[in-house]
Amino acid sequence: MPFHFGRIQAIAEMLKSGQFPVRYEANAWYGYGYICTTMYGNIFLYIPAALFIAGLPLWRVYNIFVILVNVATVLVGFTCFSKIFKSSRYGLLAIYIYTLAGYRLSNVYMRTAVGEFTAMIFIPLVLYGVYKLYFEDKKQNIVARNMPLIIGMTGLVQSHILTTEIISVLLILFAVINIKETIPNIKDILVSVVLTAGINAFFLVPFIDSYSSMDLYINTDLTATSIRADGLYLSQVFGLITKGSGGSYPWTTNDEGYLNTGIVIVLCMILSVVGLVLNRKKKSFKYILEITVVGVLAIWLSTVYFPWDSFVGDSAVAKLMSSVQYPWRYSLIQTVCFTIAGVYGLKAILDIINTDRAAKIININYTLLFVFFAGLSVFATAIFDYTLSCVNETLYNEVAAVDWADKLYLPSGTDRELLKNVEYIVDGDEVTLPVLGYDHVVVEDKNGNALDWNTGENNRIVVKYEGNPDDLTTHFRAPVIWHIAEVVSVICLILLVVFQIYGKKRKIGEISNS
C-alpha cells in the first residue's frame, strides 16, 4: 500500500508543478527521481490525486478510489456477463462469483494491487467485446460495434501493463485457434487494434521507448533468476479458504493463505467439467472447452510445477515470461475462465432440471441456486475479512513515506541504500548530483543553459561545472516523439467519439424512417 500511496501523492505533486501528463516523479527516492508513471499506466490514479490536491488525506482518497473500483467492477461486469450469457440472471451470478473470488479479494484488500484490481473492471468488457465481434450481428458501424473491445483494452493498458500483455496473448491465441471465425472479422480486429493503439499512444510510445532504451531492473536483473520458487502448490490451487493475511515466500505454502483459490472458484472448476459433459452436443461446447483449457493452463503457469527455470536470461521470451514476477499472477486468468465456464456448467444443469417445468418452478430453482452461491461467497468473504481485520494493521497515512518507490524501474545496478545520501559530491570540476541518470533528465545552470552529463557511481548524474552546485537544477523533458504520440491519442479519441455519435444518430434515423 505505501507504494500506491506514493504514486498518488507523486502524481498530485507533479500535476501541481505543471507536468501533464505526469512522466517523472521528481521527489521519489529521496529526490533522486523515478519513472514509475512512464512505465505504469496511471490515468485512473488522477482521480485520487485530484482529491488529494483538494485537501483530503491519502488514506481517505485511497478508500474512495477502492469504493469506485468496486462499484465499477460490479456494474461493468454485470452488464457484460448478462450480454454474454444472454440472461441478467446468469450475469448476476457471474459477477457475484467474479467480484467475491478469492484472488480478487486478495488483490483489493490484502496485496492492495491497485493496477490488477483496476484492470479487473475491464476484463469482462474485453470478453464481451470479443463475443460481440465474433457472435453478434454487425448492425452498427465498424467503430461502434468494436467499442466494448476498444474501451476494454484501453482500460487494461491504463491500469496494468502485465495484465494487458497476458490478455493480449490469450486474444491472439483465441484468434488463431478459431481462425475460420477470425478471417471474416479481420477488418474489425484491425480497426480495434489500430484505435486502441492510437488512443493509448500517449502511454505506449513513452513506455516502449523507455523500456527498450534503458537498462532497468525490470528488463535486466529481474530475468537473471527463475521465478519458479514463488509458484503455487496444489494445496493452494485447490485451497478452499482464502485468508486475509500472510506474505509471499519461496518454496513454501506457510503463511500464504491469501493465495488460496477459494471454495467458489474451486466449485466452478468442478462445474466447468460438468458443463463440458452436458454441453458436448451443443454449438457452445467448443468455446467452453477452450475457456476451460485456458483455465487449466493458467493453473499450471501459476504453480511451481511449470518449468519456469527454462525462462531465465536475456532472451525476448525469457523477459516476456519472467516479467510477470510471480507465477501466481496467472490466478487472475484462472478466476476469469472458471467463472465463465462454471456459470455455463450451472446453466446446463438448470436447463436439464427445468425441462418442461413451469416458470414459477424455474424461478424457484434459480433463486435457490443463487442463494446457495451467495451464501457460500459471503461465508468465504467473512472468513477473509475476519483474518484481514485481526492480523493486519490499518493505515491512516496523511502523506506518503519518503521511500515509497519500488525497485522495478531503477537503473540496473542501483543500490537503494546509497540513495539515502542526498549530498552533492564535488571532485575538481565534476559535480555528482543526487539525481538518477534517466534518459530525458535535463541539467541546467543558473542561466538556464543545458549541461551535458553522464552517469557515475550508483547511476547518479555527473556534470562538469565549476560554479556553486546549488545553482544547478534538474527537470524531466519529454522528447518530441512523445508529444506527437499525445496528439495522436487526442485525434483517435475524437474520432472514436465522432463515430459513436454518428452511429447513434444513424440508428435513430433508421428507426424514424421505419
Residue range 46-66: average pLDDT? 95
Distances (CA, A) of 444 to 47, 57, 439: 33, 34, 15
Start-end of H helices in 100-185? 102-105, 114-135, 142-145, 147-159, 161-177, 179-182
Burial status of residue 275 (CB atoms within 10 A of its CB: 0-12, 13-18, 19 or more): buried
Contacts of 57-62 with CB under 8 Å at 24 or more apart are 57/396, 57/397, 57/398, 57/399, 58/5, 58/8, 58/9, 58/397, 58/398, 58/399, 58/400, 59/5, 59/395, 59/396, 59/397, 59/398, 61/8, 62/1, 62/4, 62/5, 62/8
pLDDT in tens, 464-476: 998 888 899 999 9
What confidence score (pLDDT) does residue 511 get? 47
Give the C-alpha separation, 154 to 172, whole Å: 17
Least confident of 44-58, 114-128, 318-332, 407-421: 318-332
Which grid coordinates are listed for 61? 482518497
Q: How many CB atoms lie under 10 A from the CB of residue 133?
A: 19
How many whole angstroms separate alpha carbon 96 and alpha carbon 371?
A: 11
Residue among 460, 479, 477, 457 at smallest CA distance from 469: 460
What pLDDT digit, counting tens, does each position of 142-201 carry? Answer: 888 899 999 999 999 999 999 999 999 999 999 999 999 999 999 999 999 999 999 999
Residues 6+ apart with CB under 8 A from 18: none
SS3 205: helix
pTM greater than the 0.75 cutoff: yes
pLDDT in tens, 215-237: 999 888 877 788 999 999 999 99
DSSP 25: B
- List all residues 6 or more positions away from 381 whose beta carbon is below 8 Å from its beta carbon: 100, 105
Distance CA 431, CA 468 (A): 10
- How far apart, in Å, do the first and last CA atoms of the chain sit? 56
**Sign of the Cα pseudo-torsion (199, 205, 207, 208, in order):** positive
